[in-house]
Amino acid sequence: MSSSGKFGNNLWEKKYLLVLDDVWTESHIYWDDFLHSLRGLNATNGNWCVVTTRKQQTASILATHDPYVLGKLSDDDCWSILTEKANAGGEIPEKLQVMKKEIIKKCGGLPLAASAMGGLLRMKRKEGWKLILMNKLSNLSGDEDRVMEILKLSFDCLPSPAIKKCLAYCSMFPKDTEMKRDMLIELWMAEGFLQVDLKNKTMVNKTMEEIGEYYLEILLQSSLLEEIRKYRRRYYKMHDMVHDVSKSIMSKSTKVINSETGSEDNSNQVHCLVIDSFGEGTINLFECRSNLLHTLFLSEGSLFDDMLMKLKTLHVLNLSGEENQNLPISVGKLIHLRYINFEDSTNENLPESVCKLYNLQTLRLNSFALKTLEFFKVSREKGRRIGEFGSLKNLKGKLEIRNLELVKGKEGAEEAKLSEKANLFRLELKWAYNREGDNYNDEFAR
């Protein structure tokens, strides 16, 4: 069923208050059609539709009454938002209160500006506040310019180049995308952004996943990402203006191809391709840049063996969004691949050549990731022996190992190196009911 059909079923013959947030359309036709469909759901009075928008033109088209224009925040409200972000709800030191008026003035009564400024000033000392206020921010008259200036400064003040790369990378996703926490960290890891910073002693012994979580926390504290929780899972989202800032930084190395942007590009610096619309021009650009690409997001069209074989430097291959996508056999020749996302495909066949990708860190296949393995059936065949676990140090979640009667002696049991798998929270060990035919042992239980 289409989304419009589900929408209609939910509201059919019901009284409702519908809120449409951050609408951008400037088309009379779309809006008239939408209103007509609403009127057909319920003929009684008392239904309301509230629309918010940042565009005056949109407001004039959609309004059936005079639009209500929101005023600027009061100084006290602006300061409240800013201090909440800057000091995590604590009290701002009295010696910094003397800068209050100037700080509020820079925000111009805009909630996003106050939030971004608070994130920027978070945990900085008085000298840092003064430097930002006196030397960094110019006096801007336009509301959007004011916010963009603060957001750019927030980006510039991030504590490391790696964190800046992580934030900019998020702009490869369309605006309003709710990015999965684990997926985001896996992509950053595949791109090589999550390296240990020897200058930061607290990060020296951390895994790449833990470094990714630390970076996410910094971006949240800086008000550059927003956390959303759904069904016990955490997602992350960028405000449109943060997306614009990040996209401008990624523009030299990233090319987005869809029906609006087209596929013309003369840059020799493009290392990332995001393809939403596949055509002849796209294929030409794809082939011209094949020896430079590190990252490919493809949500429409299919990859063929001859195309894939040219991507010898590819690190990330994201084929999510295309149900009929096939993974060519030649993928096994892309030895630098660290990440493959194939989870939206209905194709259940995965080429055996994937096993040759010795640098692969993450394989997403129908919500199945390489770092989670729900059960393993021990066998005498090569590739299914207990020793295969030895090098899998980053397994996490729960694990069930079956047919342990086939493991011979203490030495065989130790090959699994289970004591090194600190991220497992549940482990089940199973032997066959009838074990008389084998010289079984119970070394795993010791």
In a domain, 370, yes or no: no
In a domain, 150, yes or no: yes
Say if residue 275 is in the same domain as residue 354.
Answer: yes
pTM of the predicted model as reported, rounded to 2 decimal places: 0.66
Contact criterion met (CB below 8 Å) for 181 and 234: yes
Say if residue 319 is in the same domain as residue 360.
Answer: yes
Three-point CA angle 68, 70, 75, nearest 5°? 155
Is the pLDDT at 332 greater than 80? The verdict is: yes
The pLDDT value recorded for residue 437 is 45
The Cα–Cα gap between 242 and 147 comes to 9
Say if residue 272 is in the same domain as residue 325.
Answer: yes
Q: Residue 228 is part of a domain; what is its CATH number? A: 1.10.10.10
User: What is the band of 369 on the pLDDT scale with cuts at 50, 70, 90?
Assistant: very low
Closest CA to 352 of 335, 372, 327: 327
Chain centroid offset of residue 157 CA: 21
Chain centroid offset of residue 134 CA: 35
Is the pLDDT at 366 greater than 50? The verdict is: yes
User: What is the band of 140 on the pLDDT scale with cuts at 50, 70, 90?
Assistant: very low
* Burial bucket for residue 318 (CB in 10 Å: 0-12, 13-18, 19+): buried
Three-point CA angle 41, 45, 46, nearest 5°? 100
Instruction: Output Rg (C-alpha) for the chain, integer angstroms.
Output: 27
The pLDDT value recorded for residue 336 is 93
Is the pLDDT at 266 greater than 80? The verdict is: no
Contacts of 8 (CB under 8 A, 6+ apart): 37, 41
From 247, 282, 303, give the residue that closes a domain.
247
Say if residue 237 is in the same domain as residue 274.
Answer: no
Closest CA to 63 of 55, 54, 51: 51
The Cα–Cα gap between 51 and 61 comes to 11
Contact criterion met (CB below 8 Å) for 410 and 404: no
Chain centroid offset of residue 222 CA: 17
Contact criterion met (CB below 8 Å) for 337 and 360: yes
In a domain, 68, yes or no: no
Say if residue 399 is in the same domain as residue 318.
Answer: no
Please write the tens of the pLDDT for every residue from 84-112.
877 755 566 665 677 778 778 777 788 88
Block residue for tokens 């096939």: 326
Two tokens, residue 64: 């059936």
Q: Which pairs count as long-range contacts for 123-127, CB under 8 Å and 24+ apart, including other chains?
A: 123/87, 126/93, 126/95, 126/96
Contacts of 433 (CB under 8 A, 6+ apart): none
Q: Give the domain range for residue 47.
A: 3-62
Burial 95-128 (b: 16+ CB within 10 A, else e): ebeebeeebbebbbbbbbbbbbbbbbbbeeeeee
Say if residue 152 is in the same domain as residue 239.
Answer: no
Please write the tens of the pLDDT for every residue from 405-414.
888 878 888 8
Two tokens, residue 360: 């692969």
Two tokens, residue 13: 């013959």
Closest CA to 219 of 241, 231, 201, 236: 236
Block residue for tokens 């060519």: 328
The Cα–Cα gap between 440 and 408 comes to 7
Total domains present in the chain: 5
The Cα–Cα gap between 383 and 362 comes to 19
Number of alpha carbons in the 13 Å side-chain half-sphere of residue 384: 11
The pLDDT value recorded for residue 367 is 45
Please write the tens of the pLDDT for every residue from 18-62.
888 878 777 788 888 887 777 666 556 677 888 888 777 788 888
pLDDT, mean of residues 326-342: 88
From 36, 62, 88, give the residue that closes a domain.
62
The pLDDT value recorded for residue 348 is 61
Say if residue 34 is in the same domain as residue 81.
Answer: no
Say if residue 51 is in the same domain as residue 116.
Answer: no
The Cα–Cα gap between 61 and 211 comes to 47
In a domain, 69, yes or no: no
In a domain, 94, yes or no: yes
The Cα–Cα gap between 126 and 428 comes to 55
In a domain, 100, yes or no: yes
Is the pLDDT at 362 greater than 80? The verdict is: yes
In a domain, 409, yes or no: yes
Strands of the sheet with 233-237, listed across from one edge: 179-180, 233-237, 226-230
Say if residue 262 is in the same domain as residue 313.
Answer: yes
Q: Which residue type occupies 40? A: G
From 212, 247, 282, give the residue that closes a domain.
247
